[in-house]
Amino acid sequence: MAHANDFDVIICGSGPAGLTLAIDLARRNVSFALIDKAPHPFIGSRGKGIQARTEEVYEDLGVIDKLVATGGIYPIPRNYMPEGPVDKPDGPRPEPTPSEPYQIPLLVPQNLTERRLRERLAEFGHAPEYNCELVGFEQDADGVTARIATPHGEQVLRAAYLVGADGGSSFVRRAAGIEFPGKSLDVRSIVADVKVDGLSWEYWHRWGMGAPKQALSLCPLYGSDRLFQLMAMAPDGDVDLSAEGLTAVVRKCSGRDDLVVTEVAWASVYTMQARLAEAFQRGRVLLTGDAAHCHPPTGAQGLNTSIQDAYNLGWKLAAVLDGAPESLLATYEEERRPIAEGVLRMTKQLLDAAKNRGESRRGREVSQLDLGYRDSSLSLAGTERDKGVSPGDRAPDAPVTGAGGLPTRLFRLFQGTHWTLVGYEPGGSRIPEPRKGLHIHVVGGDILDTGGHFQNAYGLSPQEWVLVRPDGYVAAVSHDPGLIEAYLDGVGVNPVR
């Protein structure tokens, strides 16, 4: 543990949100401490579904290929009906498109996702520090002083900002005095990673889909030693999470006495919650992930929303620490709290459908590709568009060709920590001057829209410019380079003097 005053940011909690934030800060050369009170990394599969927009984030962070190789595509469900087992996908799987290259319904156990993120963080020379518990903090106008209990005694750290990524029971949130309104959903569940004799590992086995109290799911966990993730309603009272106890649960729900749980790698009983923090920021203390919002697991939205939180927060923290206006950091709550509120509403609706009608279908809404920030103060106002992208939208991908003749993609041009400005056939119009942290490309100049995919996705007219934020959302669309330059001045992306 380093001495006091050594850090820009203290991140409390090393789950997916904390690790994502740490990677984003590390690649921006922001100093931080990543601490966790747990003695070791999380070992369970809990949040196993990774949605399309998160896959795009993981590409930008440099981990998507390793995560796909670690996990796999969701297996075909085998639903056990009164008339017999039925093997049928929950719905059609969309194909990748030039603007949306990731449509993989990706299954990676959470412990393996975290492992890959830790490996990526190590490439930047950082690692979480375990057995380090935040026990108190005070903030003032210049920063936060935090007290950390370690195996070697209490230490004091000083940082400009403290981020609570410490889960639904967040110490940071409670100590900051931020309320966490919501309710328990009166649904008590078992989730466990188990080995089961008597079942094929190639299918996602599901019983009682129309009778939630008897529902049982056994989903193979790719990347594991042939484990299944078991999910079932928990009985009243104490729950026996031993192999014998879970065998009884499996047999009761499935009606099959030939199934045997032979090993329990991890198990938990929890009550589903629907809660949203009243604020995501209080002074120099910020919340991200489950510390800011708790969702039921329907639709696999909790982990994915948490990743998006951290991805939104990282570049803003780095920019403010580098001299951008502090008002930029206030847009974190402005943008992410409404998103979390909407996702929370959707997951409750999906849970109600599953409880009342046994429905398990998921549509495009769970991909998070259509979520954006059109109402944000960071989205250039006054831009009326009847085609293509608008400020606040996710910036689509598109295959393009470099002027040198080699194929590339917009996502490769966006990848990294910078802003990106793309002009469409500017002709003789003025090209904005270079700035630190801004990459400028010209369609019809250094890149060519050989397949028409850029124009299909963005809908620009000649001499129009699109400005893309570091987190891959459109900030501005304008014919006026001066308007773009004024916007960049306002967010601290300044010309080199």
**Both tokens assigned to 297:** 């697991």
Residues 6+ apart with CB under 8 A from 441: 413, 420, 421, 422, 423, 447
Task: Please give the average per-residue pLDDT across 3-22, as a whole number.
Answer: 89
Q: What is the mean pLDDT of residues 98-106?
A: 91
Tens digits of per-residue pLDDT, 359-400?
Answer: 555 667 777 888 899 999 999 987 678 889 999 999 999 999
Is 357's pLDDT higher than 80? no
Q: Return the amino acid letter for 25.
A: L
Whether 354 and 301 have beta carbons less than 8 Å apart is answered as: no
- Residue 251: predicted pLDDT: 96
Could you tell me the pLDDT band of residue 211, with boundaries at 50, 70 and 90? low
**Residue 114 phi, psi dihedral angles, 5° rounding:** -65, -35
- Within 8 A by CB and 6+ apart from 13, the residues are 35, 36, 164, 165, 166, 167, 170, 289, 291
- Can you give the pLDDT at residue 346? 76
* Cα angle 72, 73, 78; round to 5: 120
The string of pLDDT tens digits covering residues 42-61 is 999 998 989 899 999 999 99
450 Cβ contact list (under 8 Å, min separation 6): 400, 401
Average pLDDT over residues 328-356: 82
pTM for this one?
Answer: 0.94
Q: How many residues does the chain have?
A: 497
pLDDT in the model for residue 1: 43
Q: Give the whole-angstrom CA distance, residue 32 versus residue 235.
A: 43
pLDDT of residue 300: 66
Strands 474-478 and 464-468: what pairing? antiparallel
What number is the average pLDDT over the span 406-420? 98
Q: What per-residue confidence (pLDDT) applies to 439?
A: 98
pLDDT in tens, 446-497: 999 999 999 999 999 999 999 999 999 999 999 999 999 999 999 999 998 7
Core vs surface per residue 303-333: b (16+ CB within 10 A) or e: bbbbbbbbbbbbbbbbbbbeebeeebbebbb
pLDDT for 105: 80
Q: How many helices (H) and strands (E) does the chain have?
A: 11, 25
Query: Which of 188-197, 281-290, 341-350, 473-482 comes out lowest in average pLDDT?
Result: 341-350
Instruction: Report yes or no: 297 and 218 within 8 Å, Cβ to Cβ.
Output: no
Q: What is the pLDDT of residue 427?
A: 84
- Higher model confidence: residue 208 or residue 67? 67
For residues 23 and 46, the answer to whether their CB atoms sit within 8 Å is no
Tokens of 434: 């270079």
User: How are beta strands 204-207 and 49-50 bridged, if at all?
Assistant: unpaired
Q: Residue 409 and residue 396: Cα distance in Å, rounded?
A: 10
Cβ–Cβ < 8 Å for 184, 295: no
Angle at CA of residue 41, ends 188 and 49, nearest 5°: 55
Give the separation between CA 186 and CA 213, rounded to whole angstroms: 12
C-alpha distances (whole Å) from 132 to each of 18, 128, 153, 156, 288 are: 14, 10, 10, 11, 19
What is the separation, in whole angstroms, between the first and last Cα of the chain?
38
Give me the pLDDT at residue 299, please.
54
- pLDDT of 4 strictly over 50: no
pLDDT class of 352 with cuts at 50, 70, 90:
low
